[in-house]
Amino acid sequence: MKTLIEIIKAHIEYRRQIIKLAKADIAKTYRGAALGWSWAIIKPTVTIFVYWFAFEIGIRASKPVNGFPFFLWLIAGIIPWFYISDMLSQGTECFRKYSYLITKMKFPVSTISTFVSLSKMIINTILLVIAIIIFMAFGFKPTIYYLQIPIFILFSFILFTGWALFAANIAAISKDFANLVKSFIPAVLWLSGILWNSEGIQILWLKKLLRLNPVTYIVNGFRSCFIEGIWFWEQPKRFMYFAIATIIMWILAIWSYKKFRKEIPDVL
C-alpha cells in the first residue's frame, strides 16, 4: 500500500510532465520520417488490408457478422490490438528506451510507463475516430453504444499501463524477458479472437477459457460498441473476470516496481 501511494503521488505531482512526455514520445517515434505522423495511419492501414486480403480473397473464410461486412468486423477488433501490441512490445522496453530519465535525472520511474501508454493511446484514439468514419462511409451510422467506447479505452489503458510498469521493471534487469514477450505477441494475436470470432467456438470449456483472457474482453468490448450493440454491464461475469485480471496485473506491477526500482539505475 505504501508503494501504491508513492506511485499515485508521483503521478499527481508530475501530471504535466507526463502529458508533455507523451507528446514528445509520439514526436520521437516519427521523427526523421519524410511522411511524419502519416506513418501512424499508413502502417495500421496496410496491416488491416493484408489481413482482409488473406481472409476475404485468399482463404475465403470471412462471413458477415451481425449484418456487418467482415472488413468492418475486422477493423473494430484489430484497431484496439494495435495499442495492445505496442504496449506488449514497446511498453515492456520503455525503461530501457528512456534510461536517461532514470540514470541522469531525478524523475519518478513509475510515470515512464504511463506517458508511453498515453502516447500509444492517443494514436489509437485517432485510429478509432477513423474507424467511425469508415463505418459511416459503409452506411452504418453511430449508435448510442458508441458512448461506451471511451470506457473501453480507459479499461485497456489501465490494464496495459499496469502491464508496462510490471514488464518494464523485469525487462530492465533481463533482456531475455523482453525477447520472450515479443515471441509471444503473435500467439496472443491468434489466440485472443482478434482475427476470428471467439464466440463461434462450439467447445464450451474452451469458450469459457477465452472469456478469461483480458485481451479478448477488450477486443470484444470494442466490437460490442461498433457491431453487437451490447452494454458492458449486460455481461457482468466477463467484466468481473477482466476486473480481477486488472487487479492482479497491478499487484504484480507494484511488486516488481518495489523489488527492482533500486537496482534498475545500476543495471541501465
* Average pLDDT, integer, range 155-171: 95
The reported pLDDT for the residue numbered 161 is 95
Contacts 24+ apart (CB under 8 A), 18-26: 18/111, 18/114, 18/115, 18/118, 19/115, 19/118, 21/115, 22/115, 22/116, 22/118, 22/119, 22/122, 23/119, 25/115, 25/116, 25/119, 26/119, 26/122, 26/123
Cα 21 from chain centroid (whole Å): 19
Cα 168 from chain centroid (whole Å): 15
Count other Cβ atoms within 10 Å, centred on residue 236.
9
**pLDDT confidence tier of residue 30, bands split at 50, 70 and 90:** low
Type and span of the H or E element at 36 = none
The reported pLDDT for the residue numbered 31 is 64
To the nearest whole percent, how much of the chain has pLDDT over 90? 44
Q: Which residue has the higher pLDDT, 201 or 23?
A: 23
The reported pLDDT for the residue numbered 233 is 93
pLDDT above 60 (res 34): no
Is residue 141 packed enough to be buried (19+ CB in 10 Å), middle (13-18) or exposed (0-12)? exposed
CA dihedral of residues 192, 196, 200, 204 (deg, nearest 10) = -30
CA dihedral of residues 123, 127, 128, 131 (deg, nearest 10) = 180
The reported pLDDT for the residue numbered 35 is 56
**Can you give the pTM of this predicted structure?**
0.90
**pLDDT confidence tier of residue 157, bands split at 50, 70 and 90:** very high
**Which grid cell is 22?**
507523451
Contact of 113 with 165, CB cutoff 8 Å: yes
> pLDDT by residue (tens digit) across 73-104?
989 999 999 999 999 999 999 998 888 888 88
> pLDDT by residue (tens digit) across 206-243?
778 888 899 999 999 999 999 988 999 999 999 999 99
Identify the DSSP state of 68: B
